[in-house]
């Protein structure tokens, strides 16, 4: 049965021990470790074996595993075009210095690869950033050469990191997400082609980011069965009322006037039943990791409820046809 985990990125204000305690009490079986906040320091983990032992011991204390570690923030800096919003992703010592920020981020991903190896983790989840996200709407006019240059830039910056992952038997699960080089089905397929279908690169399948774009998430699983490396359980709801739109209207998440919002799993419109059935068909046995984001409800209640929800939907595949007995 697939393990049910929780992504710690939205809980970075808690200490690691507090995160483990709360997650265990709610019924989770493991953590997807965020490399910011208070949960794991990639550099320290890469260089200090006693620190790695402390992490392992704390996980064991609360009967938790760790199947994935995240580079969402550092990875974003590897491939992005910077503005002042990015300063919060890196130490203040490199703020407002794009070259220094990218060098720091690249090294941070390298530390995370080493940390993952020491922790016995085989999946790194995260973002790549995008040098062409601001081209998504082709005005001013955008040429094919400009788009290709963006993909080539990502290949250039990430190939050395993928090489290091390959040496350690680790894969990268890109969360297909707005602001990334791959933000929907076709852009992800193009990214695979740009990397010559390198096996290092797969998908952190998160249906919430696909739903509001008008994509039927489970169809992505059917089309890319060998590239689903990790799964986020996150819900969303589209509430177009004739005045709002899917671009968000610069309204904060959680505002009821927005055209869509993230919802606690089971409280939105994602068809998780179809997703689980298609995951069964491709024989996905990795984690179902709750990324809890719902600005409209208390997170403690939401995280507990989400764990119970995933246990409910996490069905095993059938071992035979329902009418086998009649055939006999």
Cβ–Cβ < 8 Å for 162, 198: yes
Bond before 140 cis per omega within 30 degrees: yes
Q: By mean pLDDT, which of 91-95, 131-135, 272-276, 314-318 is the weakest?
A: 314-318
* pLDDT mean across residues, the chain: 96
pLDDT of residue 325: 67
For domain 4-327, give the CATH superfamily: Divalent-metal-dependent TIM barrel enzymes (3.20.20.150)
pLDDT of residue 232: 98
pLDDT of residue 320: 75
| Cα dihedral 14/18/23/26 (nearest 10) | -110
For 65-109, write each residue's pLDDT tens digit.
Answer: 999 999 999 999 999 999 999 999 999 999 999 999 999 999 999
For 162-201, write each residue's pLDDT tens digit.
Answer: 999 999 999 999 999 999 999 999 999 999 999 999 999 9
- pLDDT above 70 covers a percentage of the chain that reads 98
- pLDDT above 90 covers a percentage of the chain that reads 96
So where are the chain's domains?
Answer: 4-327
pLDDT of residue 321: 72
**Would you tell me the crossing angle of helices 144-167 and 185-194 to the nearest 10 degrees?**
70
pLDDT of 255 above 80: yes
Residues 6+ apart with CB under 8 A from 227: 188, 192, 201, 202, 203
3-state SS string for the chain: CCCEEEEHHHHCCCCHHHHHHHHHHHCCCEEEEECCCCCCCHHHHHHCHHHHHHHHHHHHHCCCEEEEEEEHHHHHHHHCCCCHHHHHHCCHHHCCCHHHHHHHHHHHHHHHHHHHHHHCCCEEEECCCCCCHHHCCCCCCCCHHHHHHHHHHHHHHHHHHHHHHHHCCCEEEEECCCCCCCCCHHHHHHHHHHCCCCCCEEEEECHHHHHCCCCCHHHHHHHCHHHEEEEEECEEEECCCCCCCCCCCCCCCCCCCCCEEEECCCCCCCCHHHHHHHHHHCCCCCCEEECCCCCCCCHHHHHHHHHHHHHHHCCCCCCCCCCHHHHC
Threshold 0.85, pTM exceeds: yes
């Amino acid at each position: 049965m697939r393990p049910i985990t929780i992504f710690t990125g939205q809980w970075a204000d808690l200490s690691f021990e507090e995160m483990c305690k709360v997650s265990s009490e709610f019924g989770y079986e493991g953590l997807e470790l965020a490399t910011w906040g208070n949960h794991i320091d990639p550099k320290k983990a890469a260089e200090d074996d006693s620190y790695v032992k402390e992490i392992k011991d704390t996980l064991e204390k609360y009967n938790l595993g760790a199947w994935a570690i995240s580079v969402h923030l550092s990875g974003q800096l590897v491939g992005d075009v910077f503005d002042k919003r990015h300063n919060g992703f890196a130490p203040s010592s490199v703020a407002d210095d794009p070259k220094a920020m990218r060098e720091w981020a690249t090294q941070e991903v390298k530390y995370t690869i080493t940390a993952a190896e020491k922790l016995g983790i085989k999946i790194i989840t995260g973002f790549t950033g995008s040098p062409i996200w601001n081209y998504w709407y082709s005005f001013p006019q955008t040429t094919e050469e400009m788009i290709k240059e963006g993909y080539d830039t990502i290949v250039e910056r990430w190939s050395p990191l993928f090489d290091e992952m390959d040496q350690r038997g680790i894969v990268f699960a890109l969360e297909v997400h707005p602001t990334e080089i791959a933000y929907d089905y076709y852009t992800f397929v193009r990214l695979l082609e740009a990397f010559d279908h390198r096996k290092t690169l797969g998908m952190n399948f998160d249906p919430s980011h696909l739903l509001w774009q008008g994509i039927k998430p489970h169809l992505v699983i059917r089309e890319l069965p060998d590239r689903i490396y990790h799964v986020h359980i996150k819900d969303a709801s589209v509430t177009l009322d004739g005045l709002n739109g899917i671009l968000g209207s610069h309204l904060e998440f959680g505002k009821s006037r927005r055209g869509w919002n993230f919802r606690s799993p089971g409280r939105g419109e994602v068809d998780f039943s179809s997703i689980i059935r298609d995951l069964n068909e491709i024989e996905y046995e990795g984690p179902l990791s709750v990324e809890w984001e719902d600005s409209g409800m208390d997170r403690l209640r939401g995280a507990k409820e989400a764990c119970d929800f995933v246990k409910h939907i996490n069905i095993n595949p059938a071992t035979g046809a329902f009418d086998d007995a009649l055939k006999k």
